[in-house]
Chain A
Amino acid sequence: EDKVVQSPLSLVVHEGDTVTLNCSYEVTNFRSLLWYKQEKKAPTFLFMLTSSGIEKKSGRLSSILDKKELFSILNITATQTGDSAIYLCAGGGNTPLVFGKGTRLSVIA
């Protein structure tokens, strides 16, 4: 059965810290790895990764995929309280998307 595992499940940091969120996957006919940010409402699309070793960046967020080791990381530098959210990782293969349980990030001032 396909699965996506995220770690840690929760994380509390101070503003200004750098965090790394982990995602490992076992997805049949894997094609894409996606990261979403979920606050109180809809998951918001962050990144889609399809190739190993190519870093994607958006402001203070960046992500990279390792298709050999079947994992991805999401980095957030200089964290702000507005980064507090649940970060979801999902793998796309035979079924549209398989999600992990998420990492709950809390950034305190």
Chain B
Amino acid sequence: NAGVMQNPRHLVRRRGQEARLRCSPMKGHSHVYWYRQLPEEGLKFMVYLQKENIIDESGMPKERFSAEFPKEGPSILRIQQVVRGDSAAYFCASSSRTRSSRRYYEQYFGPGTRLTVT
């Protein structure tokens, strides 16, 4: 039973390049969440998606960041024109429940992508 898959696990980009991070949710899960973790900081919510819909993007920076979860294939977090401050671990989580369920918050995390901007 595969868990949440993320790739690549490590990504190095030069300033100004684009970074694409991929996330495949657990089997049977249709809700995907992206979080960012800076060194010595907690996980910060970025965006919540269901298939073909962005439900909550209140944590996303207004510029350069975008996310999608197409009908087929993994969810993608895209960072354009990366800067050094984007260096962080980006975690994806998935869940199977809708907001009407108390178990909505039971999220399972992938291993993360560590982005380094040089």
Check B102 for interface membership: any CB of A closer than 8 A. Answer: yes
Contacts of B69 in A (CB 8 A): none
A interface bracket (residues with beta carbon within 8 Å of B): 20 to 34
A interface residue numbers (CB < 8 A to B) = 4, 31-32, 34, 36, 41-45, 48, 50, 88, 90, 92, 95-102
Residues of chain B at interface, number, CB under 8 A: 26
Contacts of A43 in B (CB 8 A): 43, 91, 109
Contacts of A102 in B (CB 8 A): 42
**B105 contacts A96, C-beta separation under 8 Å:** yes
**B105 contacts A92, C-beta separation under 8 Å:** yes
Known: A34-B106, A45-B107. A96 touches B45 (CB 8 A): yes
Q: Specify which of B58, B106, B111, B112 is in contact with A95 (CB 8 Å cutoff).
A: B58
